[in-house]
């Protein structure tokens, strides 16, 4: 166990705990569900940018993505930059209209919005169960990433690191709620930026400069510096699939969409778009480039996902490594707390209160339920992450794709197509989920495309076809939505 690395990390976790206590004290009076799950819709532009960025950038971006760049070369760095417009697309397409309607319907979750639009309890139940299943996979990835960081960088056994990491997140998310989540996101975004600059500079220095690093990569394998990457994995169809999966499709991710209904005003949206896009560009380029160039420093790592934590120890002084360890930890923690809160909101608001609406005003019960369900989910995820896969990026992308296949078209078309109805939305969800599950489980890639591409195409066709057989929404609903 490396004390010089662990001490700064302990300090960081204590700071996270302090912000959570501060958030609990700052909770506003009023509707508990709106405060606990949305922070009373009070985010400004800087916090909005940071929480969207840190929610989107996860263990896959700090562990899995650089691991893929280490394995496949500089071409993967270029590939990672297709993610830069993700914040701009999310806020630009959902943005103002989504937030205005959420306030009008007092929506706390994405499923609240879907019910307000389509008036279908069956659709909400299907959406809720799909979200919970996909989130189990997505959050398991984050827990694995955090435990691997502690194992490699701090010398803590994987199981012990998993207990420390998972327990900390479950506690501060359960008792701090959304306000604690976004305050920590703002701090974690700054930590991620500083850590990225620090590590990239140290890696380039250890490799003898950028020119020397590229020469070493070419000597190891010329394909490491080719646009197509090792084994020519980066084909045009792969690029198209990846762009849909990690950029355009992000609009349909529930934990991203809920950030788009929790900001304060229009000024916050405009500032969030600019700042968020810049931060994503810097972090994506910096971390993936560090992973690719890291092969020039350490060419023989058996597990690519270990490149970032191993580089931390190899190229940074112990104290600096301990400080930097907070950066990927921040990315992972911010993603988990967003997904944990969304999963908890789905169980409490979309499932329990739909069955027991008479409990809506029972705040003491809702407070206990929300905290305990969030805590219980965190503990269940510890068990799911106990035996990790070798490369977490593929599991993370699998969960991402499942959420997008279910939610993208019902969300976007519900906002912008007045004649969209529940039959079309439910058809889209079922076809998207079924097609994606079938293709992904059988490892099928029609015409070389990732399963998300045919799944989104078929779910769009199913939406239009199903819409022909359904009834239009209630007149009052349609008029308020499209007034």
Do the beta carbons of residue 104 and residue 459 sit within 8 Å?
Answer: no
pLDDT band at 2 (very low <50, low <70, confident <90, very high): low
- Specify which of 322-336, 376-390, 394-408 reaches the highest per-range mean pLDDT: 394-408
pLDDT at 40 over 70: no
Average pLDDT of 314-342? 72
Other beta carbons less than 10 A from residue 205's beta carbon: 12
Question: Which of 205 and 324 is assigned the larger pLDDT?
Answer: 205
- Can you list the positions of beta strands (E) in 73-186? none
How far apart are alpha carbons 470 and 410 in whole angstroms? 14
**Low-confidence winner among 42-56, 279-293, 451-465 (lowest mean pLDDT):** 42-56
Residue 457: the pLDDT is 95
Residue 180: the pLDDT is 62
Scan for tokens 């930059």, then name that residue: 81
- C-alpha distances (whole Å) from 109 to each of 98, 105, 334, 341, 461 are 12, 11, 18, 10, 26
pLDDT at 170 over 90: no
pLDDT at 208 over 70: yes
Do the beta carbons of residue 53 and residue 283 sit within 8 Å?
Answer: yes
Give the CB-side neighbour count of residue 221, counting CA atoms within 13 A. Answer: 19
Average pLDDT of 36-48? 62
Average pLDDT of 195-207? 89
Q: How far is CA 414 from the centre of its chain?
A: 23
């Amino acid at each position: 166990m490396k004390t010089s690395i662990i001490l700064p990390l302990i300090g960081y976790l204590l700071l996270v705990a302090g912000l959570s206590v501060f958030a609990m004290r700052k909770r506003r009076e009023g509707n508990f569900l709106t405060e606990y799950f949305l922070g009373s819709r009070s985010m400004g532009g800087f916090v909005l940018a940071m929480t969207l960025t840190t929610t989107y950038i996860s263990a896959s971006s700090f562990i899995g993505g650089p691991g893929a760049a280490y394995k496949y070369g500089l071409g993967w760095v270029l590939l990672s930059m297709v993610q830069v417009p993700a914040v701009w697309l999310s806020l630009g397409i959902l943005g103002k209209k989504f937030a205005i309607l959420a306030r009008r319907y007092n929506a706390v979750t994405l499923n609240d919005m879907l019910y307000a639009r389509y008036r279908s309890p069956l659709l909400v139940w299907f959406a809720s169960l799909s979200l919970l299943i996909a989130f189990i996979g997505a959050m398991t990835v984050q827990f694995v990433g955090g435990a691997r960081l502690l194992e490699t960088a701090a010398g803590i056994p994987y199981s012990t690191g998993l207990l420390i990491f998972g327990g900390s997140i479950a506690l501060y998310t359960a008792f701090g709620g959304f306000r604690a989540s976004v305050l920590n996101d703002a701090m974690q975004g700054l930590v991620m930026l500083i850590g990225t600059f620090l590590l990239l500079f140290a890696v380039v220095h250890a490799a003898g400069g950028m020119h020397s690093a590229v020469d070493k990569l070419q000597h190891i394998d010329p394909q490491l510096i080719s646009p197509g990457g090792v084994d020519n994995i980066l084909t045009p169809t792969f690029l198209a699939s990846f762009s849909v999966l990690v950029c355009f499709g992000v609009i349909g991710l529930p934990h991203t969409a809920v950030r788009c209904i929790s900001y304060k005003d229009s000024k916050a949206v405009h500032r969030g778009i600019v700042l968020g896009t810049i931060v994503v560009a810097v972090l994506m380029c910096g971390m993936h480039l560090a992973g690719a160039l890291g092969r020039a420093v350490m060419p023989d790592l058996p597990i690519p996902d270990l490149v970032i934590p191993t580089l931390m120890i190899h190229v940074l002084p112990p104290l600096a490594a301990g400080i930097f360890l907070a950066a990927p930890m921040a990315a992972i923690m911010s993603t988990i707390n967003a997904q944990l809160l969304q999963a908890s909101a789905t169980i409490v608001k979309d499932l329990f209160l739909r069955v027991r609406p008479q409990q809506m005003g029972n705040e003491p019960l809702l407070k206990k339920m929300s905290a305990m369900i969030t805590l219980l989910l965190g503990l269940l995820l510890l068990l799911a992450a106990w035996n990790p896969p070798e490369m977490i990026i593929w599991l993370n992308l699998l969960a991402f794709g499942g959420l997008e296949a279910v939610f993208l078209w019902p969300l976007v078309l519900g906002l912008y197509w007045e004649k969209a109805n529940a039959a079309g939305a439910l058809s889209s969800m079922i076809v998207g989920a079924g097609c994606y599950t079938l293709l992904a489980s059988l490892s099928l890639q029609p015409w070389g495309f990732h399963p998300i591409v045919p799944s989104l195409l078929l779910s769009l066709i199913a939406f239009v076809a199903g819409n022909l057989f359904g009834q239009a929404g209630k007149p009052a609903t349609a008029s308020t939505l499209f007034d």
